[in-house]
Amino acid sequence: MNKYLFFVTFLLFRVLFASAQQKEQINIINSNSLEFNREIGEGVRRLLGDVILEHDNATMYCDSAYLFTTQNTFHAFSNVHVNRGDSIHLYGDFMLYNGNTKIGKFRNNVRLENDSTTLYTDSLDYYSSSNVANYFEGGRIINESNTLTSVVGYYYANDDMFFFKDSVVATTPDYIIYTDTMKYYTEEKITYFLGPTNIYNEENHLYAENGWYRSEEKKFQFNENARYQNKEKVLTGDSLYYDDLNGIGIAIDNIEMIDTTENMILKGNYAYYTKDPETFLITDSTILIQVSNYTDSLYLHADSISSNFDSTGTYRILKAYHKVQIFREDFQARCDSMVYNFQDSVVTMYTEPIIWSEGSQMTADKVEIHIKNEVIDFFKLINTAFIVSEKDTTRFDQIRGKQMIGYIRSNKLSRVDVFGNGQTIYFTVDEKENEIVGVNFAESSDIIIYMKEGQVNRINMIKEPTGILYPLDELEQTKLKDFRWLEHLRPKEKNDIFIWR
């Protein structure tokens, strides 16, 4: 490139660069009085009365102003009003505006208005080029019946969105919200929580560290350490969703519900709740813990657990479905399905139910467990009732009948009443030698059997009794009809309730 061509290129570059650097000037539209004041500075204009200025599609009003033409800035005083695109209106006592950076700094009695929201603060910076407003010394937002305060806030006009930070408090007709960081879309009325958040009303307390709230639809979604609490229940989970208008709640992953009125804890990975009528279903690794003041806690596992109220809406009914297993230190059980009626405190077990209490195993077509003062009072074995106790590895005391009632005292089986087709086989023991010396086979329509330490202690035959005491090993058939020894199915500790054998 020769010197002449280089020089022309250099001049052209400077012209283009200078053109790009030129800024749109602030224009004076109206002023009742215009003064030039060289004492303040070169190019300074003083405007008084009904001042109107324009810049970058914004119209600015005030009572008086200083316009610095050289710097392309102005200071506006008293009744300052900025209108941008008819959608945003800014008011204040003072504004410093820079036409080059397109930043307006509003101070004292500042107010920002859009179609549905008003912001009040004393210090606000407005970035005209990006249509963003920022307050940093405290602000208050009013949107219809909702009010919000925070130390720091941003308004993104293009997205119609507020961003709040530090000591955020939002008040709605239904809730008061306290959080650290929040986003609010004014048109859709959607609030996003981006930090530790507490939501209160007269009955409920919600906590989460991430989530959203649709105020018109009254829907919540909470994530990260989510927690819901009212006077009776506490619910936690990785994710909680609640539709207040329709009374529907969903919880997902690591769910725990504590019912303080029933001393009950429910855990699982999926829960569905309805408010009216009040029902819930919990499934996936489900466990129910019944906390007792009198005995050890009871642990129950099933594929799913549901709850609803009876037709009067007074008493709760709890249902467990499929592969139900129960563990307590002194009591274990299993069945396919189970119902617990809180009205009469009766647990009903269906489909191959088995109960183990101390050294006794109980089976029937159906089992009813009657609870009193949080402990088992008695149980009913209905149809094909059978009780087995292990005497040694090859010999078993047995009771068989159509139906039985077993009475529990001091958490131990103390007596069994047999009704219909009663049969027993029990082995007698020489107490001095502590050896089995004989076997007793007895039949009676009805039988009362007294137990001691899980073993048969005494038998009363009520109707048409027959009984024979055989020397040991002389009774050929030592197993009653329907005999089954199911110790291998017994949950030996609380974690075994998750293993279905």
Three-class secondary structure assignment of 216-264: CCCEEEEEEEEEEECCCEEEEEEEEEEECCCCEEEEEEEEEEEECCCCE
| Alpha-carbon gap, residue 84 to 113, rounded angstroms | 11
Backbone angles phi, psi at 279, to 5 degrees: -140, 160
Structure tokens at 175: 């809730």
Backbone angles phi, psi at 26, to 5 degrees: -75, 130
Q: Model pTM?
A: 0.76
Q: Per-residue pLDDT tens for 218-269?
A: 898 999 889 988 888 898 999 999 898 899 999 999 999 998 887 889 999 9
pLDDT of residue 387: 92
pLDDT of residue 350: 97
- Low-confidence stretches of the chain (pLDDT beneath 70): 1-23, 37, 39-40, 86, 293-295, 454
- Helix, strand or coil, per DSSP, at residue 68: strand
Structure tokens at 209: 């560290």
Domain boundaries, the chain: 354-501
Q: Are 117 and 140 in contact (CB under 8 A)?
A: no
pLDDT of residue 8: 35
In this structure, which CATH number among 2.60.450, 1.20.140, 3.40.1710, 3.30.2010 belongs to the domain 354-501?
Answer: 2.60.450
pLDDT of residue 5: 39
Nearest CA among 309, 301, 254 for reference residue 280: 309
pLDDT of residue 3: 44
pLDDT of residue 299: 93
Q: Are 402 and 419 in contact (CB under 8 A)?
A: yes
